[in-house]
Amino acid sequence: MAGAPAAPGPTTVGGRYARLMLRSVILAASRSSQVERLIATAPFTRDVVRRFVAGSGTDDALRATRELVADGLAVTLDNLGEDTVTAEQATATRDEYLTLLRMLSGAGLTPAAEVSVKLSALGQKFDEQLAYDNARAICAAADEAGTTVTLDMEDHTTTDSTLDILAKLRKDHPSTGAVLQAYLRRTESDCRELAGAGSRVRLCKGAYKEPESVAYQSAREVDKSYVRCMNVLMSGAGYPMLATHDPRLIAIGEDRARWFDRSPDRFEFQMLYGIRPEEQTRLVGEGYTVRTYLPYGEDWYGYLMRRLAERPANLMFFGRALMSRT
């Protein structure tokens, strides 16, 4: 894509290789309980977490939502947690979402605020039916609260199951949204399947470590795939949700909105809490709908590590937090 070096020299290749290595190491660390213990108990960690996570309780989530909505942003709330291993944990996660939705509605924060849900937190890895039942209860509560649910997408081994559950949920709750990841080779075709009327699709690059057999490996290929997928969604009949912080892709999104005559109420931009907040405000000022993905809860480790992996420069926050304590 324009802006990338035309003929990368050895230093650039070396730098790119080092970045890829660092990304792999961080993603591997995200699965290590030993590293998790080390980082979770480090005294400076709280300061870093606070930048990307609203807080640990529902009250923190509500407070941050109120502030974002007052700034003209829409919000999607994620109760942090994934890879649940017992039915009790899955049920507790479902109940947390039911409480959250009641509180959002009671505080008059719906429909500006909706929820994002990881099926793995609802039991998908060990009991698909349980995950579906839990998700259905959350969708019913969202209907009652006058808002929507989006199913987050996790690693590629869960894509078919997640899309199957989405199709079943949409029969009774047609506004349930899905996430598609541009780094997967299958995604352009999935976009065609999901570009129909009433379908809400969040398009992101993808945050997991995936093998070459299923996923594009270079940033350039992922970006090109993102644009192809965006073209399908923006020219379709559904509601595209363009989730990226990438200035070039945001500019292409604005261009496609003009090209396909999509008014700001017929698509939205989405970004993560704590990342490029000034760009989120700028887009709101331009009249676009911008939704901030707002995570909260105790189980922040996997989420934080994925943020560090996609932008190792974020490791600087650890450095700064450490320095300010020494």
Please tell me the distance from the alpha carbon of residue 111 to that of residue 116, in angstroms, as a whole number: 13
Q: What is the DSSP string of 267-324?
A: -EEEEETTSSHHHHHHHHHTT--EEEEEEESS--HHHHHHHHHH-GGGHHHHHHHHHH
At its nearest, how many Å lie between ligand FAD and the CB of residue 105? 22
Please tell me the distance from the alpha carbon of residue 35 to that of residue 147, in angstroms, as a whole number: 38
Among 126, 224, 310, 312, which residue interacts with ligand FAD (rule: CB under 6 A)? 310
At its nearest, how many Å lie between ligand FAD and the CB of residue 299? 16
The residue among 75 and 232 lying less far from ligand FAD, judged by its C-beta, is 75
Please tell me the distance from the alpha carbon of residue 253 to that of residue 3, in angstroms, as a whole number: 17
- Angle (CA) 268 122 42, round 5°: 85
Q: Is 311 in the site for ligand FAD (CB under 6 A)?
A: yes
Binding mask 143-172 for ligand FAD (x = CB under 6 A): ---------xx-------------------
Count of residues near ligand FAD by CB under 6 A: 24
Q: Is 245 annotated as a binding residue?
A: yes
Q: 115-146 burial, b for 16+ CB within 10 Å, e for fewer?
A: bbbbbbbbbbbebbebbbebbbbbbebbbebe
* C-alpha 32: how far from chain center: 22
Q: Look up 164 and say whether it is catalytic.
A: no
Beta strands in the chain (DSSP E): 74-79, 113-117, 149-151, 177-181, 200-204, 239-243, 268-272, 290-296
Q: Is 122 in the site for ligand FAD (CB under 6 A)?
A: no
Q: Is 316 annotated as a binding residue?
A: no
Q: Is 269 in the site for ligand FAD (CB under 6 A)?
A: no
At its nearest, how many Å lie between ligand FAD and the CB of residue 41? 25
Type and span of the H or E element at 20: helix 10-29
At its nearest, how many Å lie between ligand FAD and the CB of residue 190? 13
Q: Look up 220 and say whether it is catalytic.
A: no
Tokens of 163: 């899309």
Type and span of the H or E element at 46: helix 45-52
Binding mask 183-222 for ligand FAD (x = CB under 6 A): -------------------x-xxxxx--------------
Name the residue among 183, 220, 176, 174 with its Cα closest to residue 201: 176
Choose one: 133-141, 265-273, 296-304, 318-326; the region binding ligand FAD (CB under 6 A): 265-273
Binding mask 40-69 for ligand FAD (x = CB under 6 A): ------------------------------
Catalytic machinery residues: 152, 202
Binding residues for FAD: 153, 181, 205-207, 244-245
Contact residues toward ligand FAD (CB under 6 A) are 152-153, 179, 181, 202, 204-208, 243-247, 270-272, 275-276, 293, 310-311, 314
